[in-house]
Structure 1
Amino acid sequence: MKIYDKDFDKVINGVVASGSLTYREAIEKLTPLISKTEFQRKLQDKKFYAKLERDIVDGCVMPPITLAFVEKSIDINTEIDKIESYFQKEFDKSFVLDGIQRLNTLLRVSKNEKFDFEKKLYFNIIFSDKVDKLLYRMITLNNGQKPMTPRHQVEMLMANVFDFDKLGIEVQTEKERADKIKINSFNKADIEQAYLAYMANSPMVDNKKIIQDKMDELIVNKIISTEPNDDSGNFEDVIKAIAKLQVKQTNLKWLKQANNLVGFAVGMKTSHTEIMKLTPDDFEKSLEIFEKSFSDFNPSKIKLGKMRRELSFEYFKNYSKLKDYDSYDLLEYFSDITND
């Protein structure tokens, strides 16, 4: 166990120290703290943390947890080695301010034969003279704000990770499009929805019949239940494929349609190798066959948007098989799967 640094929190008038310990030490010293205080959150259903369990076994660095002490003797002038010594002796007097679910997950996964007991767990320790100050900090850490929805997380991730100009496509926000639409640009909200669907491995990530909070829960469940696959490529491949294929105006127009884009993106998760090889001309010919088959469905008998999203997903998910179908074969195939 090691303390690296310290700082002073002026809001709660407390010292915050940062350090690490091994998973073994965390299990021995910290997991007994999980049910220590009455105001801590009830443990969630373990299925919500199934993805984290798999990631821990695979060697991820678990997000830091936060511990707390009601203690007057530790102040900003206390030396780091004394803070470290204090924690070593008095750790059982602390409680978990943020990270109960992670510690509980760590305890469960420690029974896996592949578990690495020497992996580091990083943590912060807050020292304050009153428990209500620590409770305030815990509320701001856990419940002070409405948790980010999966859509918001995707939005934040895309804003910080993807450089669309370098990847080769033009993207505009709703506000930018309201001012002036660039003819060949994609709606950023459509790209974000495609990314969310890609993460969930399902084209159906939007259902107006379901209240939004419950829909977000369903999306989270889909994401955490999707097994990682080293052969599935990544969403950057989708952007690169769009940049390559959009040079044909027919392709660009088709890809800019939100339902098509979502279905195509999720389908690429399975068929990225095959699709990345396509030329713009090849893609245009495939779209011609797809659209011919799709146009033969009776629009009065189907929900066009939902059907388009599902069938574009189905087509590109199974592209290695369906690429050689003519429009009649493809119509028969689509008819069979939609009648199941």
Structure 2
Amino acid sequence: MQEIIKVFTSDYDEVIDSYVSMGKTTYNLALEKLYPLINRFEAQRKLQDKKFYKRLQADLVEGCIMPPITVAFIDKERTDLSDKKDFERYVNSNIDYGYILDGMQRLNTLKSAFEIDKIESNRVLYVNIIVATNQDKLLYRMITLNNGQKPMTPRHQIEILTAKMFDFSRLEYISVQTEKERANRVIRGAFNLEDISRGYLAFLTNNVNNENNKIIDEKMDEILVNRVLDARNRESQLKFDDVIDLVDKFSIEPYCKRWFETNNNLIGFCVGIKESYDDLKNVDPIDFSNSLRLFEEGFHAINPSKVNLGKYRRQLSCEFIKSYARLLEKDGHDLAEYFMEFTS
């Protein structure tokens, strides 16, 4: 018998009276044996528009490991599968009668990737396996896994990552507080975590304009996801930690710190620095403070009654930092003229 899925474990789920396991197969065998199963379970969603999975398809071509899929079986005979070898034999003997409980979209994307591009067919695909006594048990597990809470928006996910992944306590000249912490005790001059999160989102999307009240939230979330995926640069070694460290370094100068406390400036900096980090990393904080005064001189030539000043501040601070070495040579008048031409 051809081994389609290699089984690692065998455990018993007391709630749904089912054996569960983890295993692996290959992309090639997944397409041969698992892809034909995608329409066997009536409770599944229909295939979504392929555009939602175009990034995964590109990643597959580049050599990613696809997230695990879940394969399920109905075993009315209640076979004893406590031994992983028995589990493995059962799965491979009954593979044609399985259901794709989770991962239908991914298998469809894998199929598209194989049809369009050459990808390595023997790459590993991990599989979660459930053997239940009836379909109701599977449906119950689907409901408990996929419902009961509102999915986090990309913005919320990034805010949580900002709070959990970065160690702000190591910073010397700035501090960061959450809304909850501010409710208990306000640290004067502390940055709001939400503002840092906006900077991180700008860094990830390579875009200073990630908020738009004219676009419904669901559509904006989709736009943000696409921006994050499209902005990925595998060659760049710059991390957001590096950006925050540089903000901290410059904030020894009070003028610099006040400038960063304006969130639109911070957002522009977090995007522009991706192009000019090497130019700025060794700049003295006093010199940087003087350059920000030059920026403000040029910026204040803009008529605030004629434009969205916050949007212009994000865009122009980004452009100033991005082209730092070149624009530093200008005086306030020349910079104002440059900003006028840049925004026209």
Question: Could you state the TM-score of these two structures normalised by the residue count of structure 2?
Answer: 0.91
Q: Which moved more, 1:221-230 or 1:309-318?
A: 221-230
Contact 2:272–2:320 (8 Å) recurs in 1: yes
**Alpha-carbon distance in 2 for matches of 1:177, 1:227:** 34
- 53 and 269 in structure 1: CA distance in 2 versus 1, 3 angstrom threshold: farther
Give the equivalent residue in structure 1 for 2:260: 255
Contact 2:74–2:135 (8 Å) recurs in 1: yes
- 162 and 15 in structure 1: CA distance in 2 versus 1, 3 angstrom threshold: same
1:279-338 deviation per Cα after TM superposition (whole angstroms, max 9, x unaligned): 212221221111111111111111221211121122222324323222222211211121
- 75 and 297 in structure 1: CA distance in 2 versus 1, 3 angstrom threshold: farther
Give the equivalent residue in structure 2 for 1:116: 120
Give the equivalent residue in structure 2 for 1:67: 71
What is the aligned counterpart of 1:90 among 75, 86, 94?
94
Contact 1:22–1:121 (8 Å) recurs in 2: yes
Give the equivalent residue in structure 1 for 2:318: 313
Query: Please, which runs of 5 or more residues in structure 1 have no aligned partner?
Result: none
Contact 1:232–1:270 (8 Å) recurs in 2: no
Q: What secondary structure is seen at the aligned counterpart in 2 of 1:127?
A: strand
Give the equivalent residue in structure 1 for 2:309: 304
Residue 45 (1) aligns with residue 49 (2) = yes
Structure 1 consecutive aligned stretches of length 4 or more whose deviation exceeds 6 Å = none
**Alpha-carbon distance in 1 for matches of 2:42, 2:328:** 60
What is the aligned counterpart of 1:125 among 126, 129, 136?
129
**Alpha-carbon distance in 2 for matches of 1:69, 1:121:** 18
1:216-255 matched pairs, under 5 angstroms: 216-231=221-236, 233-255=238-260
**Alpha-carbon distance in 2 for matches of 1:320, 1:111:** 47
**Alpha-carbon distance in 1 for matches of 2:339, 2:115:** 46
- 42 and 320 in structure 1: CA distance in 2 versus 1, 3 angstrom threshold: farther
Q: Which moved more, 1:311-320 or 1:124-133?
A: 311-320
Question: How many Å apart are 1:176 and its aligned residue?
Answer: 1.0
**Alpha-carbon distance in 1 for matches of 2:36, 2:19:** 24
Q: Which moved more, 1:142-151 or 1:118-127?
A: 142-151
Question: How many Å apart are 1:120 and its aligned residue?
Answer: 1.2
**Alpha-carbon distance in 2 for matches of 1:118, 1:26:** 10
- 111 and 166 in structure 1: CA distance in 2 versus 1, 3 angstrom threshold: farther
**Alpha-carbon distance in 1 for matches of 2:80, 2:199:** 48
Residue 140 (1) aligns with residue 144 (2) = yes
Q: What secondary structure is seen at the aligned counterpart in 2 of 1:122?
A: strand
Q: Which moved more, 1:14-23 or 1:102-111?
A: 102-111
What is the aligned counterpart of 1:155 among 152, 159, 177?
159
Give the equivalent residue in structure 2 for 1:177: 182
Give the equivalent residue in structure 2 for 1:58: 62
Contact 1:7–1:76 (8 Å) recurs in 2: no
Q: Which moved more, 1:31-40 or 1:100-109?
A: 31-40
**Alpha-carbon distance in 2 for matches of 1:292, 1:75:** 78
- 118 and 160 in structure 1: CA distance in 2 versus 1, 3 angstrom threshold: farther
**Alpha-carbon distance in 2 for matches of 1:77, 1:113:** 39
Question: How many Å apart are 1:174 and its aligned residue?
Answer: 0.9
**Alpha-carbon distance in 1 for matches of 2:28, 2:286:** 57
Which amino acid in 2 is paired with 1:103? L
Residue 10 (1) aligns with residue 9 (2) = no
**Alpha-carbon distance in 2 for matches of 1:105, 1:13:** 32
Matched positions, count: 339
Contact 2:19–2:82 (8 Å) recurs in 1: no
Question: How many Å apart are 1:142 and its aligned residue?
Answer: 3.5
Contact 2:163–2:193 (8 Å) recurs in 1: no
Which amino acid in 1 is paired with 2:20? V
Question: How many Å apart are 1:13 and its aligned residue?
Answer: 2.2
1:283-294 matched pairs, under 5 angstroms: 283-294=288-299
- 246 and 71 in structure 1: CA distance in 2 versus 1, 3 angstrom threshold: same
Give the equivalent residue in structure 2 for 1:36: 40
